[in-house]
Amino acid sequence: MRGAIQIATLRGIPIRVHYSFLLVLPFLAWLFGLAMAGGIGPERLRGHPLVWGAGLAVALFLSVLVHELAHSVYALRKGGQVSDITLLMIGGVSRITRMPEGAKHEALMALAGPATSLVLGVLLRVGSVPLTAAGAEELGFAAAFLGGLNVFLGLFNLLPAFPMDGGRVVRALLTGWLGRVRATQTAAFIGKGFAVLFGLVGLFGVPGLWTPFNPFLLLIAFYVFMGAAGESREVLLQTLLSGLRVRELMTPRTSAVGAEDSLEEVDTRLRAERRRALPVVEDGRVVGLVTQEAVLRVPAPRRGQTRAREVAQPVPELTPETQAWDALREMGQRQLPQLPVVQDGLLVGTLTQEDLVRGIQRRELEGNQRNGPWGVGPRESHT
Ligand SMILES: [Zn+2]
């Protein structure tokens, strides 16, 4: 994620903080400081309200982190993969690159976060009682306040607004009945409905409950809406490509350029072969990929002296047996138009975005013909 700084690593998972979170910290410190002064009484509060507020804001940040870690630890225990945790202005995001298998684990993974927040909230509330009784009035109030925030965090995330945690539970519950694509589409539809509702409440408020123009609620509305649409598309693609291997989609194009070839030569080859990229080979092994963009980025007079190896981009190991879905993800993450396919160190073909699109269209057509296991109608598949 762009605009995020790494602050720690836990069990190999990088933990990052997005700048938006840092922007909101002073505001939260001010807001929580007011709450402290109001709760204890400004004349009886020992210490500056802003100091208490800043402490509470950092404690909330740690609470969100604990919530996200609960998701991640469950995912890791059940064979999933977590690439990173990022804390944003509106909460945390755990990027789970591989989900634990099965709807039950998916539901439990989604529940782990809110459950942890609720337990933490109740513990803080209970713990505040002896603190207040012992005369540590400020600490008692702060613990109770933080407890309340954690309970809110847990309950709010349980709303069935996919891709929020509650929405993920709904999707998991629907998967057995509707299949993964339809379950995601249904959960995303409900999620978008909630996003509109959050947006309306955020703009106009609810008399006596919420004041109008709540920027947090508007941001959450935006995040839920975009997230629902994005995940819905992703699951559809993933399902359409499921079970397909690179072997079935790749084209046996084995032309390549040498690492020592000049960019002038590479450019000529790209034009002649009508390719957007060519694999770079050295001693018979693929060492990278040179794209049209990379060639054009070098000024024309310098292309004669620049070697292909200097502008080649590293490529992941793709074999004919690689899952088509993994290949698509690699292409998307690296923003490459195609990837070389290698077997026993030898270049055996290329997989392009067009090859993948062809595979997806074929699966869609097959699905429409049979209306079979994919259960994807022609209308839904293009939204
Ligand atoms: Zn969560």
User: Is residue 376 over pLDDT 80?
Assistant: no
Cα 93 to ligand 1 centroid, rounded to whole Å: 8
Q: How many CA atoms lie within 13 A of 140 on its CB side?
A: 14
Establish whether the linkage from the previous residue to 314 is cis, with ω within 30° of 0. Answer: no
- Kindly state the percentage of the chain with pLDDT values over 90: 41
Cα 157 to ligand 1 centroid, rounded to whole Å: 6
- Tell me if 114 sits within 8 A of 95, measured CB to CB: no
Strands 338-343 and 346-352, by their bridges, are antiparallel
Amino acid in the structure at residue 142: A
78/206 Cα distance (integer angstroms): 42
The candidate with the shortest Cα–Cα distance to 326, out of 262, 237, 211, is: 237
Residue 13 pLDDT: 87
- Tell me if 27 sits within 8 A of 89, measured CB to CB: no
Strand partners, 359: none
More confident residue, 269 or 90: 269
- Tell me if 52 sits within 8 A of 138, measured CB to CB: yes
Which token pair is 121? 């909230």
Cα 110 to ligand 1 centroid, rounded to whole Å: 6
pLDDT tens digits for range 107-148 = 999 999 999 999 999 999 999 999 888 888 889 999 999 999
Q: What is the mean pLDDT of the chain?
A: 86
Structure confidence at residue 54 as a pLDDT band (50, 70, 90): very high
DSSP secondary structure string for all residues of 109-143: HHHHHHHHHHHHHHHHHHHHHHHHHTT-HHHHHHH
223/344 Cα distance (integer angstroms): 44
pLDDT tens digits for range 317-361 = 889 999 888 888 888 877 888 899 999 888 999 999 888 888 888
Residue 53 pLDDT: 92
Cα 359 to ligand 1 centroid, rounded to whole Å: 34
User: Is residue 381 over pLDDT 50?
Assistant: no
Residue 370 pLDDT: 59
Cα 165 to ligand 1 centroid, rounded to whole Å: 5
Cα 163 to ligand 1 centroid, rounded to whole Å: 9
CATH class of 246-359: alpha beta
308/81 Cα distance (integer angstroms): 35
Give me the residue spans of the domains in the chain: 1-158, 162-242, 246-359
Which strand (E) or helix (H) includes residue 60?
Answer: helix 49-77
Which token pair is 89? 């202005």
Cα 158 to ligand 1 centroid, rounded to whole Å: 8
Cα 13 to ligand 1 centroid, rounded to whole Å: 16
